Homo-oligomer: A and B are copies of this chain.
Amino acid sequence: EAKKEKPVKPDYTPAQKKRITTLLSPADDLSSIKELPTFKELETELVKKRKQDLRQMYEDDRRHQLAQLERDISLFLIEKGFMEVRTSVLIPAKFIERMGITEEDPLYKQIFRVDENTCLRPMLAPGLYNYLHNFDNIMPDPLKIFEIGTCYRKESDGKEHLEEFTMVNFCQMGSGCTKENLLNIIDDLLKYLNIDYEVISDNCMVYGDTIDIMHGDMEISSAVVGPIPQDLDWGVTKPWMGAGMGIERLLKVKHKYTNIKRSSRSISYYNGITTNLR
């Protein structure tokens, strides 16, 4: 028996390999094919399959994966007693300072600035801090809130980073803010989403010690048990805990996408399928 054939034969040009990679879906398994067809044959077949996938989505479902996962996570957290908030994406630049993000922090250079006093939020924490302060002593203890929304960061290209991505950030203030309880909520959520993970410790300039939730080599969440010094700058004086999680990364894991672009808001991919099929 001959050795197992490589998925993409060396007689495809680099541009052809790229096109084939774009057309593949995680369910395709070229490794089982002993002899690969010509580029044109393979492309035609894959284009046909992807068009069928899209048509099936149009006829059977019509929901966008990212939008649906946002809805699922929202309803899951509301059910668990967290209150849904929505704050603006355009934030005062002074919120960045108040988060303790100084010029030395790597995040500082990642921020999109719209004008001198305004930027696109790189995280949901500033809005949540405002709600923790404003709702303190109004709501029963503990106060549990969350936001799902877009965040922006300048990133050097990569398979796990988007410049526009969607974060879910939930937090609790008052009683019960222990590492154990925090890990339990994360465990419930990731079990509900059917996503395996490992817990490791990390050190982050903004929050000090963070708990990182990993899927293989990819971070899917960073979690913090407060209090931390900058709480006072937000008028937050009680213990708290919270975690931020990237929704497109969750989709990348769930659907075994090779690149996070497949799960992003995009005109190039629809539910993980390339839209370049004409």
Instruction: Name A's B-contacting residues (CB within 8 A).
Output: 51, 54-55, 57-59, 62-64, 66-67, 71, 74, 78, 81-90, 112, 114, 120, 127, 130-131, 133-140, 148-150, 152, 163-164, 264-267, 270, 275-278
Contacts and interface: CB of A to CB of B under 8 A. Distances in A.
Contacts of A90: 152, 163-164
Contacts of A136: 278
Copies held by the complex? 2
A84 B85 CA distance: 23
A59 B140 contact: yes
Interface of chain A: mostly helix, strand, loop or mixed: mixed
Shortest 7 CB-CB contacts between residues of A and residues of B: A130-B267, A134-B275, A64-B84, A86-B265, A62-B83, A62-B78, A88-B265
A88 B135 contact: no
Contact of A88 (B58, B134, B266): B266
Contacts of A84: 62-64, 67
A85 B270 contact: yes
Given A267-B131, A278-B134, A278-B137, A67 B83 contact: no
